[in-house]
């Protein structure tokens, strides 16, 4: 007979719904010299809001199109989930 712990183990590795998107944003921003953490990114209505100093936000604004393109290449289904970065 299986224990309840065995059944629940497969649910321990689940991540929040936007976790993969946040990882993709962090990786894409890192390509352009911007260091972010997943905690600095908030998702709302297909927009990623960056909570960081203005210098970092300006770098992201400059490379916004390239970052979005990189995210959509990394996660093809993300085109409907992330449409803008602010």
Cβ–Cβ under 8 Å, residues 24 and 74 = yes
SS3 call for 85: strand
- Tens digit of each residue's pLDDT (9 = 90 or more) over 51-76: 999 999 999 999 999 999 999 898 88
Taking only the tens place, the pLDDT of each residue in 4-41 is 777 777 777 665 578 888 999 999 999 989 999 999 99
SS3 label, residue 2: coil
Assess contact for 48 and 82: CB atoms under 8 A.
yes
- Asked whether the beta carbons of 24 and 78 are under 8 A apart, the reply is yes
Residue 16: per-residue pLDDT: 58
What is the domain partition of the chain in residue ranges? 17-85
Residue found by looking up tokens 């199109």 in the block: 65
């Amino acid at each position: 007979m299986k224990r309840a712990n065995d059944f629940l183990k497969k649910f321990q590795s689940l991540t929040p719904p936007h976790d993969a998107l946040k990882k993709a944003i962090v990786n894409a921003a890192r390509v352009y010299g911007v260091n972010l953490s997943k905690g600095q990114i908030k998702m709302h209505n297909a927009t990623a809001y960056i909570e960081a100093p203005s210098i970092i936000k300006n770098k992201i604004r400059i490379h916004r199109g390239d970052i979005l393109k990189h995210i959509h290449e990394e996660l093809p289904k993300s085109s409907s989930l992330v449409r803008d970065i602010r």
